Amino acid sequence: MMESGIPLCSTCGEQLGLSPKGEVFVACHECNYPICRDCVEYEIKEGRNACIRCGNPYSDDDRGVAVVGVEASENHTTVTAHEAGIHARNVSTVSTVDSEYMDDSGNPIWKNRVESWKDKKNKKKQTAKKEKKETAIPPEQQMEEKTETADAAQPLSRVVPLPKSQLSPYRTIIIVRLIILAFFFHYRVTNPVDSAVGMWLTSVICEIWFAFSWVLDQFPKWTPINRETYIDRLSARFEREGEPSELAAVDFFVSTVDPLKEPPLITGNTVLSILAVDYPVDKVSCYVSDDGAAMLTFEALVETAEFARKWVPFCKKFSIEPRAPEFYFSQKIDYLKDKIQPSFVKERRAMKRDYEEYKVRMNALVAKAQKTPEEGWTMADGTPWPGNNTRDHPGMIQVFLGNTGAQDIEGNELPRLVYVSREKRPGYQHHKKAGAENALIRVSAVLTNAPFILNLDCDHYVNNSKAIREAMCFLMDPQVGRDVCYVQFPQRFDGIDKSDRYANRNTVFFDVNMKGLDGIQGPVYVGTGCVFNRQALYGYSPSTVPTLPKTSSSCSWCGSCCCCCPKKKPAKEKDLLEIYRDAKREELDAAIFNLREIDNYDEHERSLLISQMSFEKTFGLSSVFIESTLMENGGVPESANSSTLIKEAIHVISCGYEEKTAWGKEIGWIYGSVTEDILTGFKMHCRGWRSIYCMPLRPAFKGSAPINLSDRLHQVLRWALGSVEIFLSRHCPLWYGFKGGRLKWLQRLAYINTIVYPFTSLPLVAYCLLPAICLLTGKFIIPTLSNLASVLFLGLFLSIIVTSVLELRWSGVSIEALWRNEQFWVIGGVSAHLFAVFQGFLKMLAGVDTNFTVTAKAADDTEFGELYIIKWTTVLIPPTTILIVNLVGVVAGFSDAINSGYEAWGPLFGKVFFSFWVILHLYPFLKGLMGRQNRTPTIVVLWSVLLASVFSLVWVKIDPFVNSNDASTVAQGCIAIDC
């Protein structure tokens, strides 16, 4: 707030001014969002005739002045950084202004400098406007430009809501199911089973938790949507014929650790698919992070860069899909379809031969790397490999393609390919994948500084060469992309059998849950196949949301005053308080944003200003990197020296660079969990960003899934452990991020679901054991059913079925995929999730950390051969025990019914039904234990029948359910008739 008491504009930092009535200017009377008259008029001229906070349209009365000659058009033009002028983005609360940098009046000491710079800039704008008026444009040329602008300014994407015929019944059945659940639990609680109180109470507690889990999972799917993109309009707007491409640059991140578990051939295919992507080559840079400092990875990239000189022009010449050679040559389709060039067959054969030679060289490197020499690895020039000690080595960067002058065989430029291995020293915490990704952020910011970042796992290749254009339809749209932090693509996988026994495809999650989240605040970040806005990773808030300052009343635990929020005040008074409280913060935001355009300051003054704003405390001690964070549209200064940039890039990946900074706490990939993806996306959504889910018809990326049961369970264990870690941290969605109300409630429910689902394993294990206990003891968890109870049970089962059917209808998911998902929910719940809960508490309470091995990325030569390999681990023990106990219980139940007579068959039906429910859900696990593909081995069937028969006979002979009195009576009867 200025000395005069007039609030400041949240967009440009100037005073709001007064209305014609002499009152403080208010643009929108609905939300009182602080924005000045000039900024309102600018928004309307750009076609945005609505409040950027609440969305209500402006009126003449709201603006306090009539705007003449301005019409709100549906066709909006692109807003560039120069056109936006001093409309600044907001900065996250991690950057604070210390009191020592303020003068007596409470203003920053550098404020006068910024004000004088603004005056100079305004004079330049006025001069430019006069020059434009003097140069008249011919009418014919104006008509042509208007036509081109009208074609190019159409929306780049649109939301496709679900038809009411699908969505209305879906919502109705959700409400009906909720009502039925309320009556069901009323019946269960008011009708205890006196003969089995312990089992009844356990079952009721389990059922209440299952209902709670269902609410968390179901209601975030309340408003599912689909989206359409228009790539042709993107090209018309940013790739005009005869002009340089204006598409935004993209930095690709590929992370790898151990080349013996993540084969270099797979990583090489991922890199090749990136280099051959359908995007301007000068806008693409590929950074490969070798967190294991393996010479094998380095040499594999050398071979990959050489082969790319042939592969990239071949792909672009013949529009090859996919552009990963291993998967292109292995697909079983007619490769001549849609090919019209006669030379294609000849060049394809030659390229396939070149690729086979490339594979031989890669395999030779892998074979050579199997045994490490005693003296360590040496490079081609005879010098020792710097990464011989993987835990103690310097940072390494090597640029293979791009500005090195390497061109393809046709003389065309290639995208940049950079090898990065961050420094590692004993005694430093390196934070695994999250730390490696943050190192790539800094390296890429120094070398290329693209405004957008796409991260991929080493086994996820680009399956759709136009995938980046799909993402740009959202991120480069001036209306849609203003508050989008990332565009998430679904994960699709190769190498999975048709039945998808272990639900590796996660179809229900990617085609149902993520579509639902897209209708709220956006999908969660799932670790790969995601295009980020670099500014969002830096911890900035979106320009459409005002930044709230960090106050002394913030909780040290949650940082958001969730437990000590003040009482609500009247709306107008509260809004005014927020305006006054945010005023000084807005001044700082505007100054930070505009520093990059201050040309009259020398380097000493610029570094002084940056220091005053505590940027070094946030981003680290690198002036080059800090300057890059201020460039919203990215890019590297033309005067930058490449050797100097490389030295600076080495500096920003040193071990101690992140110490006493906000890296991993508020900016970049967030530390504190092995599932850093969920945590990183959650922090962005809490700042007010939203994300977008993009599902092109041709899958954008494809990867290799862990294919056998053991690897799949260990993968699920890692995810569940990360969720438990978040639950036990200060970032738990139950209490974090309430200040400001930027996280929508349904979105919060979705995040709560992502961190509490592992705890469902405890009631699930108990519920899966209850049927067997009922069969073995002759008791049951449900009393004799009345007519009302029968209706409730029937209604509950029908509502479950109808909900699933309606989900299948609007999502397009198959029944088999839904059933596989349901089965693996039980398998993972009673095994991996259970271990994750105990390991999570051990880690937090006792400090016992669990080291996970990297999931293998390649299978054996036999198709689906690895699917049927069982690697025995402790994770397999709980589901195996549950299976055996239920099988024994079924045998015992039938034996008791045969022994007791026909009146025992009625109660047996309910018990056996629940037991079979457990066995059917665990059937893929049972089949996995057998280890065969299409049929159960005959010897297993014979032994199973034999053991079941013997057990039944022994059970009938022992007859444990007959009490001692009955047994004595029977014995006396036998004696009386001399038996």
- Residues marked active site are found at 291, 677
Q: Does 291 appear as a known binding residue?
A: yes
CA gap 416, 37 in Å, rounded: 45
**Chain centre distance of CA 720:** 15
Measured in degrees and rounded to the nearest 5, phi and psi for residue 178 equal -65, -40
Asked if 256 and 292 count as a contact pair (C-beta separation under 8 A), the reply is yes
CA gap 634, 631 in Å, rounded: 5
Which residue type does 440 have?
L
Question: Which residues partner with 599 through β-bridges?
Answer: none
What is residue 27's DSSP assignment?
Answer: S
What is residue 500's DSSP assignment?
Answer: -
| E strands, 519-609, in order | 530-533
CA distances to 260, 437, 629, 658 from 593, rounded to whole Å, are 46, 25, 10, 23
Question: Which residues partner with 378 through β-bridges?
Answer: 384
What is residue 656's DSSP assignment?
Answer: G
Q: Which position has the token pair 């050797």?
A: 643
CA gap 184, 782 in Å, rounded: 12
Closest CA to 891 of 881, 902, 899: 899
The 3-state secondary structure of 441-463 reads HHHHHHHCCCCEEEEEECCCEEC
Q: Does 575 appear as a known binding residue?
A: no
SS3 of the chain: helix, strand, coil, percent, to 5: 50, 10, 40
State the virtual CA torsion across 778, 782, 786, 789 in degrees, nearest 10. -150
CA gap 173, 179 in Å, rounded: 10
Question: Considering all CA atoms of the chain, what is the largest pairwise distance in Å, rounded to the nearest integer?
Answer: 128
Q: Does 103 appear as a known binding residue?
A: no
Q: Does 569 appear as a known binding residue?
A: no
How many other β-carbons are positioned within 10 Å of the β-carbon of residue 412? 12
Written as six digits, the tokens of 621 are 């001690």
Q: Does 261 appear as a known binding residue?
A: yes
Give me the sign of the Cα torsion angle 901, 902, 907, 911. positive
CA gap 764, 406 in Å, rounded: 58
The 3-state secondary structure of 799-858 reads HHHHHHHHHHHHHCCCHHHHHHHHHHHHHHHCCHHHHHHHHHHHHHHHCCCCCCCCCCCC
Please report the DSSP string for 844-905 in residue order.
Answer: III----PPPPPP----SSTTGGGG-----GGGHHHHHHHHHHHHHHHHHHHHHHHH-GGGH
Strands 492-494 and 225-229: unpaired
Written as six digits, the tokens of 503 are 């639900």
Q: Which position has the token pair 């995810």?
A: 719
Q: Does 368 appear as a known binding residue?
A: no
End-to-end CA distance of the chain: 105
Closest CA to 708 of 819, 463, 873, 553: 873
Closest CA to 453 of 462, 445, 461: 445
CA gap 157, 229 in Å, rounded: 4
CA gap 328, 320 in Å, rounded: 8
Asked if 502 and 924 count as a contact pair (C-beta separation under 8 A), the reply is yes
The phi-psi region of residue 411 (left if phi > 0; otherwise alpha if psi is between -120 and 50; otherwise beta) is left
**Chain centre distance of CA 52:** 26
Q: Which position has the token pair 């254009």?
A: 469
CA gap 720, 756 in Å, rounded: 9
Q: Does 62 appear as a known binding residue?
A: no
Bind-site residues for Mn(2+): 433, 457
Residue positions in the annotated binding site for UDP-alpha-D-glucose? Answer: 255, 261-262, 291, 432
**Binding residue ranges:** 255, 261-262, 291, 432-433, 457
